[in-house]
């Protein structure tokens, strides 16, 4: 099956006409582009030094009420027993599906980590961030589709997100998607098994495979596929082709408007298929002569999860292949958010975990992958988004980079509700910074909320530093208020 660089009008109209959830349909009425000026950070001289001592400057413009809410949320999430009870409740259909359960989630974790229920609400957050010198990543928070009809609705939702991003100030927004929303989860699992088996047995034929880009390495968890999986049926091959069309339709809309598309990484049982799909999009839209997002960046960006043992091996193989194919690589580097899921799966199978054995190994892998890609950014052959909540990872590339100020091929990102101090410090140093903004109905966002709760109490948590900065600034404001009254 050849990779189409253009998407048929039929495919686009099919997804655009699919019945959208009410919240996404409302987003189509988004207002015309906001004539806001370019944020002040692009006019600022980048010092390339991260400053956290002066919290007054760091949090300038942030209302005290917002700082108090953030500190309260992070403090609650750091209480292990409370998080355990809350996540158990969110996993319970009886609780999560009830009006009371949704209301409780909306008033707590949802309010802290999410940008609203509709694309319009998320766009308002992007505009507010843009006025403060940062951008936003619109994430229509849907995942784990069960059938093709759900996938069509999800594709329509992603296309609607791109259209909303196109109405925002140029350069202020990108869009994030999950492949598990565009291809039925059972098919992704089967496709991943087949890709792992082919890695172990290179002569194994996959007639549906559209490219030979490296997806796995010898250090990948190939043991997740212990025996030869059955071939895809004719119906499954057709569904795989439809999933390609959905992805390419979203990519095409991004290319039309010059909006960067970030494809999230997910969990090990489906990640080979996710990487396969991501490269389908990159080969179609990141090649020579392709339109660049924001005038500079490639359209399609994949994701590297540094907590995986095979991350660096796969990254290097991907970069070599991109050079051969003359494809401009776009990558987001994260630590990873499925720690609990991966650990439980490995334990249930009696196999080694695909995750590094220590937090320091994860940090080292992240920093190594970042340095490797920054060198490619300097050469003009890659675009990288460093998505990190770790202060040291933010400091490491903030020294002498040899990358021109304002180069949009180097971006930083943090999740909404997390690492705000790092985001603001990076912005103050002159870097391009975005906040990741999930949106959608509460019940749709629950898997995301569970991951955020686990992340804030888990090994990769950086929230203690956030709380330290917030306490310091609130104490400073209280003292200033008291002195001012004397």
Helix (H, G, I), strand (E, B) or coil at 414: strand
CATH number for the region 116-202+213-439 comes to 3.20.20.220
Other CB atoms within a 10 A radius of the CB of residue 97 amount to: 11
Other CB atoms within a 10 A radius of the CB of residue 418 amount to: 25
203-209 contacts at long range (C-beta below 8 A, 24 or more positions apart): 204/228, 207/237, 208/1, 208/232, 208/237, 208/240, 208/241, 209/1, 209/276
- First-to-final CA distance of the chain: 76
Question: What pLDDT is recorded for position 456?
Answer: 59
| Best CA proximity match to 415, nearest among 44, 134, 143 | 134
What string of pLDDT tens digits covers the 486 residues of the chain? 444 444 554 455 555 455 444 333 333 333 333 333 334 333 333 345 788 999 999 999 889 998 998 898 888 777 777 777 777 777 777 777 788 877 877 887 888 889 999 999 999 999 999 999 999 999 999 888 999 999 999 999 999 999 999 999 999 999 999 999 999 999 999 999 999 999 999 999 999 999 999 999 999 999 999 999 999 999 999 999 999 999 999 999 999 999 999 999 999 999 999 999 999 999 999 987 777 776 678 999 999 999 999 999 999 999 999 999 899 999 999 999 888 889 999 999 999 999 999 999 999 999 999 999 999 998 888 999 999 988 877 766 645 567 877 789 999 999 998 889 999 999 998 899 999 999 999 888 888 887 777 665 544 455 788 889 999 999 999 999 887 665
Name the one residue in this structure whose structure tokens are 């989860």: 185
| Best CA proximity match to 354, nearest among 408, 303, 309, 295 | 309
Which is it for the CA torsion 358, 359, 363, 365, positive or negative?
Answer: positive
The distance between the two most distant Cα atoms of the chain, rounded to a whole number of Å, is 81
Three-state SS sequence of 233-254: CHHHHHHHHHHHHHHHHHHHHH
Distances, alpha carbon 171 to alpha carbons 63, 166, 175, 177, 334, in Å: 26, 9, 12, 18, 22
Question: What pLDDT is recorded for position 461?
Answer: 53
Name the one residue in this structure whose structure tokens are 């991109």: 322
């Amino acid at each position: 099956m050849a990779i189409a660089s253009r998407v048929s009008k039929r495919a686009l109209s099919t997804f655009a006409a699919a019945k959208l959830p009410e919240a996404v349909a409302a987003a189509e009425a988004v207002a015309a582009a906001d004539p806001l000026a370019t944020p002040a950070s692009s006019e600022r001289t980048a010092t390339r030094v991260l400053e956290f001592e002066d919290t007054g400057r760091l949090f300038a413009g942030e209302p005290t009420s917002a700082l108090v809410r953030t500190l309260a949320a992070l403090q609650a999430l750091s209480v292990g027993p409370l998080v355990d009870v809350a996540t158990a409740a969110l996993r319970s259909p009886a609780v999560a599906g009830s009006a009371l359960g949704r209301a409780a989630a909306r008033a707590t974790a949802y309010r802290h980590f999410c940008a609203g229920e509709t694309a319009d609400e998320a766009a308002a957050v992007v505009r507010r961030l843009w006025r403060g010198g940062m951008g936003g990543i619109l994430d229509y928070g849907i995942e784990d589709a069960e059938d093709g009809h759900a996938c069509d609705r999800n594709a329509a939702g992603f296309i609607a997100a791109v259209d909303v991003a196109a109405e925002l100030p140029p350069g202020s927004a990108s869009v994030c998607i999950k492949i598990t929303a565009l291809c039925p989860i059972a098919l992704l699992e089967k496709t991943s098994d087949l890709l792992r088996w082919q890695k172990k047995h290179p002569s194994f034929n996959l007639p549906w495979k559209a490219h030979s880009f490296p997806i796995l390495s010898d250090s990948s968890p190939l043991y997740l596929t212990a025996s030869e999986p059955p071939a895809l049926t004719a119906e499954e091959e057709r569904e795989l082709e439809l999933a390609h069309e959905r992805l390419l339709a979203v990519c095409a809309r991004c290319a039309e408007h010059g909006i960067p598309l970030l494809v999230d990484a997910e969990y090990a049982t489906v990640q080979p298929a996710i990487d396969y799909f991501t490269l389908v999009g990159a080969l179609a839209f990141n090649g020579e002569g392709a339109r660049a997002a924001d005038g500079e960046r490639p359209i399609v960006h994949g994701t590297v999860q540094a907590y995986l043992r095979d991350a660096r091996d796969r990254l290097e193989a991907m970069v070599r292949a991109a050079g051969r194919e003359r494809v401009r690589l776009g990558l987001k580097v994260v630590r990873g958010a499925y720690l609990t899921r991966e650990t439980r799966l490995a334990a249930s199978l009696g196999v080694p975990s695909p995750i590094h054995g220590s937090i320091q190994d994860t940090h080292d892998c992240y920093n190594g992958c970042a340095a490797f890609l920054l060198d490619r950014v300097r050469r003009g052959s890659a675009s990288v988004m460093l998505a990190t909540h770790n202060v040291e990872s933010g400091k490491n590339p903030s020294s002498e980079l040899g990358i021109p100020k304002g180069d949009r091929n180097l971006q930083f990102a943090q999740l909404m509700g997390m690492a705000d101090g790092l985001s603001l410090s990076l912005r103050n140093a002159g870097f391009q910074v975005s906040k990741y903004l999930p949106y959608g109905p509460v019940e749709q966002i629950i898997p995301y909320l569970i991951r955020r709760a686990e992340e804030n109490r888990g090994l990769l948590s950086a929230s203690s530093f956030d709380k330290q900065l917030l306490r310091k600034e609130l104490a400073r404001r209280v003292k200033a208020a008291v002195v001012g009254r004397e």
